[in-house]
Structures are given as structure tokens and as C-alpha cells.
């Protein structure tokens, strides 16, 4: 059984998937490809074709059996071919199909992968921003190792051609981060070893409810397992590694069992043995127990400290829709509530161009500036809106200045309901604190039969291709319901407090 680039990618997304793909109950696997995953796949193919068209001369080895392609790849490298596309390389139990093999000197090749994402980390996590991507790095490491074993590479480097067609150098021996001294190469060695044990069934790990699950074909199967076993990852924020730590160190694997824990005793033991429950402090443990209790015992939401929301004439519930595969914001939606009534406003880009994106954003800001100053509040759900707007500000400085943007988000009436309220000050009897999970808990229903941000991106791409107004209508309806759900949640938090009094 080969270890491939997909094996390593899967391991990073979810270590359990490597095992489940080989040994999981096949009849429980969802056969249809998730439309969003399909969209990503198609975009990847289109981007690759675009890059390839500009490459000049290369040897195309994308056709044939793996064995035929391997033989041809070897022959091509031996004869000194400058550029090989979709060659197959293998050595022992490692197999790779790098997008490109590029000759750097006589007998020496480096692997180059074409990716339809950015070459480095970005997005909502400032800590991570600018770092090489682990999941790209391990794939290139695999290719390098095979090339090295075949005698065609000595330098531990590879390259990524990213979505903007920038070529970014990946050095494998550098540390993964300021606080992570482990190098990409060491990380690769570690996960290769772990994956190898899993695919041989010499090791087995458990499913866990996590963010990556939603797009995974095993979602229903693993969810069922977590339900049936009352797995600890049913508790909000209790991820795989903490679950494994509690399983191993405390011998506990059911949610109910968390309620009987003696925290004082655990903390005492932690003082005596530094490796015991490492990384899980008293505060986190107490929080976990509290959440478990709410989930399986009291079954009621709790607001800890009193929350007073601004009393203003205009309340706005706001949500953006963007396509991260092309860093394009296509919709800024606002559900507005005033004494006069409620209405939904959308500021939408109906074509993919900088002009259309800038225009939609300009209209959004014109609307914001038209509001009675100091007499409006804005609610949104997650740091994503702020991060995206900072990125847009750099791209379109004429729409809003950096200062105006920062003043907007620093306004105490502009509230990230998730980060500032839900996460800090509430707990809920559900395993996820996503907007959908909480609004549904409060009785809200989306009008769309399969509401999802990922699907909205797919709908938008379909709309761009077809210009079918029904698709646009569906996108707007979904966004309006997201905005309304934010309102339902804000109102729900107020009601919970009233009921607690």
C-alpha cells in the first residue's frame, strides 16, 4: 500500500480519515461528491490548465498506466528533459505525481506543484499569516524523498505556483513557525510514519466531530459513531487532541463521565507529574465540565455575565459571502431593523471583476455612512468579516480609508456576536456554536433546503456562468436568512437573560 500526497494531505485534515478510507464501513460512506469539493476540484483543474498553457516546452506524461508513466518519467529524467508534467515517481512504499518536475542542474530535479490557493497562510489567523502551508509542504517533501531515493535530487526544496501564478520557494529544513521549532521536514517524517501505521492497520484512531467533517464523505458515519459512543468531541471546543489526552490520562471516554471528575485531584496530580494532562489547564478543564453538564444534564443555555446590547434606532445584522478560491467578495448583506420595520438590503457584485467588487463595497459604505451616526449598531458572526474588510481596504483604499475602517470596527456598537458574546459569555446545550447550530436551537429555520456558505459559493459560480436570476435569488435568500439568524440569536441571548432573572 502506497503513501501518496493525498494520504499526507488527508492526515493533516483528519488523522482518522487515513484509517477510515481503508478500513471504515464502506456502506456508510457518502458516494456523491460534495458540490463544493467538486467546485474546488474544477477550479484546480482550470487553474492548472491556465498555468500549463504558459509553460512553453514540456513533456506531458499525464496519460497511461502508473507503471508506464513511471518508466517514462525515469527515462525522461535520465535523458535530461527540462520540464516534465504529471510524471509518476515511486520508491518503496512512496508514490507521487508532482505536477511538474523541473531540472535545476544535470541529473537534479525539483518538484513543483500548481495550486489554486495562495502559497502561504492567510485568512483570519494573524499568527499563521505568511507561513508556508503545511499541507503543501508535506506533499513536496514526499516528492523530494522519492526523487532523492531515485538519485535525482539532493536539495530539500520544492516550489508552489499559486493562484496568482507566483512561484514560491518551499525550503523543508526551516522551522514551521516562531513558536514551532520543528521543521517541515521533521513534520513530514512524523506524519509519514503515523500514516504508514494507519494504512497498514497497525494503528487505529477514532473519529471526532471537527470542522473538517462537514465536507467529508464520512460525516454521517463518524457522527453516528460519536453519538453512539457519547464521544467527548460532542462537547463544544473539545477537539481530537484534548479528547485523546483525557481518554489516555483519565481513562474517560463518555461525555457523562466528565461530570464526575475531581478537578482538585487532577490539578494536584498535574503538579506532581508534568506530562499528566499536559496542555489542559484548570480553567479549560472546568469549562469543559461545565459545557458537558449543560449538554447532557441541564440542557439549557447560560449567559454568565449580564450583556447589555446598545439601544439604538437602527440595528443591522450583517453577513458577507465570499469565494475564498478567488478571494472575491460577492455579497454584503444587511438585515435592518428600525422602529418603522425590517428590511433586507444587499450589495452584490453580479460579475467577477475588481470593478464589480469595488462597486458593491462602495454601495455598502455609502449605506453605512447614510445611517444616523452614533445611533446604529451592527452585529456579525465571526472575525471573518473584519479580516476580509481589512484585506479589501488594502485593495480598494478609495472606498474607505484604513482609519475609517478601524474606527468602524472599534465602535462598541459594532459587535462580533460570536467572538465577543457567545464564546466569552455563554454556553449552549449543543456541540457546535456555529450560527446555524444556535439559531436552529432557538427555533429559526433557513428557507433553503440545504443552506450552507460553501454551497452559496458554488451557486455564485453557477450564477456567473448562467446568469440565471433564480440562482441569484437563492443566494440572496440564503444570505438574508443568515442575517436574520444573527438577529434571532441576539434576541435569544436577551431573552435567556430575562428568563434567568
Cβ distance to ligand SF4 smaller for residue 237 or 344? 237
Cβ distance to ligand SF4 smaller for residue 102 or 240? 240
| The total number of residues written for the chain in this structure | 501
Angle at CA of residue 276, ends 283 and 237, nearest 5°: 40
383 binds ligand SF4 (CB under 6 A): no
Contact (CB, 8 A) for 76 and 87: yes
Distance CA 112, CA 94 (A): 17
Contact (CB, 8 A) for 77 and 149: no
212 binds ligand SF4 (CB under 6 A): yes
Cβ distance to ligand SF4 smaller for residue 132 or 455? 455
Distance CA 78, CA 189 (A): 28
12 binds ligand SF4 (CB under 6 A): no
234 binds ligand SF4 (CB under 6 A): no
258 binds ligand SF4 (CB under 6 A): no
**Range in contact with ligand SF4 (rule: CB under 6 A) among 84-92, 147-155, 204-212, 425-433:** 204-212
208 binds ligand SF4 (CB under 6 A): yes
C-alpha cell at 394: 488594502
14 binds ligand SF4 (CB under 6 A): yes
Contact (CB, 8 A) for 501 and 354: no
**Range in contact with ligand SF4 (rule: CB under 6 A) among 15-23, 156-164, 300-308, 340-348:** 15-23
Of 17, 102, 192, 337, which one interacts with ligand SF4 (CB under 6 A)? 17
Q: Residues 324, 370, 492, 477: is their CA dihedral positive or negative? A: negative
Cβ distance to ligand SF4 smaller for residue 8 or 422? 8
Of 3, 7, 11, 16, which one interacts with ligand SF4 (CB under 6 A)? 16
Distance CA 298, CA 67 (A): 60
329 to each of 209, 249, 476, how far by Cα in Å?
Answer: 29, 46, 14
Of 70, 218, 236, 459, which one interacts with ligand SF4 (CB under 6 A)? 218
207 binds ligand SF4 (CB under 6 A): yes
Q: How far is the CB of 20 from ligand SF4 (least distance, A)?
A: 5
In the stretch 336-375, what mask flags binding to ligand SF4 with x, by CB under 6 A?
----------------------------------------
Distance CA 173, CA 156 (A): 7
**Range in contact with ligand SF4 (rule: CB under 6 A) among 60-68, 217-225, 412-420, 490-498:** 217-225
Of 146, 117, 136, nearest to 48 by C-alpha is: 117
Q: How far is the CB of 14 from ligand SF4 (least distance, A)?
A: 3
What residue ranges in 49-148 does DSSP mark as E strands? 59-60, 83-85, 89-91, 94-96, 100-105, 108-114
**Range in contact with ligand SF4 (rule: CB under 6 A) among 109-117, 152-160, 203-211, 403-411:** 203-211
C-alpha cell at 408: 468602524
C-alpha cell at 328: 472575491
Residue environment code for 255-264, b if the CB has 16+ CB neighbours within 10 A, otherwise e: beebeebeee
Distance CA 384, CA 391 (A): 11
Q: How far is the CB of 430 from ligand SF4 (least distance, A)?
A: 18
**Range in contact with ligand SF4 (rule: CB under 6 A) among 60-68, 208-216, 402-410, 419-427:** 208-216
Q: For ligand SF4, how many residues bind (rule: CB under 6 A)? A: 13
Query: Which residues of this chain interact with ligand SF4, rule CB under 6 A?
Result: 14, 16-17, 20, 207-208, 210, 212-213, 216, 218-219, 222
Amino acid at each position: 500500500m502506497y503513501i501518496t500526497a493525498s494520504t499526507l494531505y488527508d492526515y493533516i485534515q483528519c488523522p482518522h480519515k487515513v484509517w477510515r478510507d481503508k478500513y471504515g464501513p464502506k456502506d456508510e460512506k457518502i458516494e456523491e461528491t460534495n458540490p463544493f469539493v467538486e467546485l474546488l476540484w474544477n477550479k484546480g483543474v482550470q487553474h492548472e490548465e491556465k498555468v500549463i498553457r504558459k509553460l512553453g516546452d514540456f513533456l506531458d506524461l499525464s496519460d497511461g498506466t502508473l507503471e508506464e508513466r513511471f518508466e517514462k518519467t525515469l527515462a525522461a529524467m535520465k535523458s535530461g528533459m527540462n520540464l516534465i508534467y504529471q510524471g509518476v515517481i515511486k520508491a518503496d512504499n512512496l508514490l507521487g505525481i508532482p505536477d511538474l518536475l523541473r531540472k535545476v542542474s544535470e541529473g537534479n530535479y525539483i518538484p513543483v506543484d500548481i495550486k489554486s490557493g495562495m502559497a502561504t497562510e492567510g485568512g483570519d489567523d494573524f499568527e499563521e499569516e505568511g507561513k508556508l502551508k503545511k499541507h503543501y509542504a508535506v506533499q513536496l517533501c514526499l516528492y523530494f524523498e522519492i526523487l532523492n531515493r531515485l538519485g535525482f535530487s539532493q536539495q530539500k526544496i520544492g516550489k508552489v505556483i499559486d493562484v496568482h501564478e507566483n512561484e514560491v520557494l518551499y525550503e523543508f529544513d526551516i522551522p514551521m513557525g516562531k513558536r514551532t521549532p520543528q521543521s517541515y521536514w521533521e513534520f513530514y517524517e512524523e506524519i509519514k510514519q503515523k500514516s504508514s501505521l494507519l494504512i497498514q492497520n497497525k494503528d487505529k484512531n477514532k473519529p471526532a466531530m471537527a470542522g473538517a467533517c462537514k465536507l467529508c464523505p464520512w460525516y454521517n458515519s463518524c457522527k453516528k459513531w460519536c453519538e453512539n459512543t457519547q464521544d467527548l468531541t460532542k462537547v463544544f471546543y473539545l477537539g481530537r487532541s484534548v479528547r485523546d489526552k483525557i481518554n489516555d490520562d483519565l481513562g474517560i471516554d463518555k461525555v457523562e463521565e466528565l461530570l464526575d471528575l475531581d478537578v482538585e485531584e487532577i490539578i494536584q496530580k498535574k503538579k506532581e507529574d508534568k506530562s499528566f494532562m499536559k496542555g489542559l489547564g484548570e480553567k479549560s478543564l472546568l469549562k469543559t465540565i461545565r459545557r458537558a453538564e449543560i449538554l447532557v444534564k441541564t440542557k439549557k443555555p447560560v449567559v454568565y455575565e449580564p450583556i447589555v446590547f446598545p439601544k439604538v434606532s437602527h440595528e443591522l445584522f450583517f453577513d458577507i459571502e465570499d469565494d475564498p478560491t478567488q478571494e472575491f467578495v460577492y455579497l454584503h448583506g444587511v438585515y435592518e431593523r428600525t422602529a418603522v420595520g425590517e428590511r433586507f438590503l444587499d450589495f452584490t457584485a453580479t460579475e467577477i471583476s475588481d470593478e464589480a467588487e469595488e462597486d458593491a463595497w462602495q454601495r455598502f459604505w455609502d449605506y453605512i455612512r447614510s445611517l444616523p451616526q452614533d445611533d446604529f449598531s451592527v452585529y456579525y458572526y465571526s472575525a471573518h468579516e473584519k479580516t476580509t474588510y481589512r484585506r479589501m481596504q488594502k485593495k480598494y483604499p478609495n472606498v474607505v480609508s484604513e482609519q475609517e475602517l478601524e474606527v468602524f470596527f472599534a465602535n462598541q456598537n459594532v459587535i462580533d456576536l460570536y467572538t465577543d458574546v457567545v464564546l466569552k459569555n455563554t454556553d449552549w446545550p449543543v456541540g457546535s456554536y456555529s450560527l446555524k447550530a444556535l439559531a436552529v436551537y432557538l427555533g429559526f429555520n433557513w428557507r433553503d433546503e440545504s443552506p450552507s456558505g460553501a454551497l452559496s459559493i458554488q451557486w455564485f459560480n453557477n450564477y456567473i456562468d448562467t446568469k440565471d436570476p433564480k440562482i441569484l435569488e437563492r443566494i440572496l435568500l440564503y444570505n438574508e436568512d443568515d442575517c436574520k439568524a444573527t438577529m434571532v440569536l441576539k434576541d435569544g441571548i436577551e431573552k435567556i437573560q430575562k428568563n434567568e432573572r
